[in-house]
Amino acid sequence: KESDWNLALEDLLQNYLVPTLNQQGYFAFSSGKIQKLQKGIIRTNCMDCLDRTNVVQSVIAKYILQQQQSDIQENNNEKKYRI
């Protein structure tokens, strides 16, 4: 099944990309101050299948969004970020 293949690819990519994504971080700006700086970018190319390229980009976006939500939740207690 195509969905099984996509799930397997998503698991593989997340395990492979997480160290790089954690190292690069993301940009965060709140209350007139820079809270975090992004230290790099991820580039994806469509070699043979746009669906797989979209899976890769979705995995990256999902992981970073989860990190942002977690940081907002943690830092909201410290009043660093405003929602």
Task: Please give the pLDDT value at position 3.
Answer: 74
pLDDT digits (tens, 9 = 90+) for 16-47: 888 999 999 999 888 888 989 999 998 887 76
Residue type, 69: Q
pLDDT digits (tens, 9 = 90+) for 44-76: 877 666 666 677 788 888 889 999 999 888 877
63/22 Cα distance (integer angstroms): 10
Task: Please give the pLDDT value at position 82.
Answer: 53
Instruction: Compute the Cα dihedral for 54, 25, 7, 12 and give only its sign.
Output: positive
Instruction: Compute the Cα dihedral for 13, 39, 22, 20 and give only its sign.
Output: positive
Task: Please give the pLDDT value at position 83.
Answer: 47
